[in-house]
Structure 1
Amino acid sequence: MAFSALAKPQMHGLLAKRLGFHIVGAFIVSLSVAAFYKFAVTEPRKKVYADFYRNYDSMKDFEEMRKAGIFQSTK
């Protein structure tokens, strides 16, 4: 029976090699999540706010709330 020697594992520089891989991966994932959030959440939200305030009449809204009796200091 002949025994073959196992190859020695790489120990020198292993942390730097793995850390570089994970930093690049984390950077790519964070950029993709930020882009997804921008286009899936903030842009539609900006559009909804713009549409709301385009036709919003604050005095009309105030008068409706005053007539409904929400405010105690105005009659």
Structure 2
Amino acid sequence: MRQSVSVIELEATRRAMIESAVRHGVASPEALRLSRRLDAMLNIYEKSRSGPLYGKSGIRETDRPG
């Protein structure tokens, strides 16, 4: 599995999923495949954000209150 995902890739997959759902229905095999792909990509993206700058919570250390 890949270790990084760009916001552009996320957006393109999201748009493709929406188009597929509109054309073929939300339960179509294509829409479901794209939904699973987007979920996996979002998981990778979120994990990449929990590095040293963001910490385990996903919140940047400089954004934490107090």
TM-score range relative to shorter protein = 0.3 to 0.5
Provide the TM-score with structure 1 as the length reference.
0.36
Higher Cα radius of gyration: 1
Provide the TM-score with structure 2 as the length reference.
0.41
Higher helix share: 1
Higher relative contact order (CA 8 A, sep 6+): 2
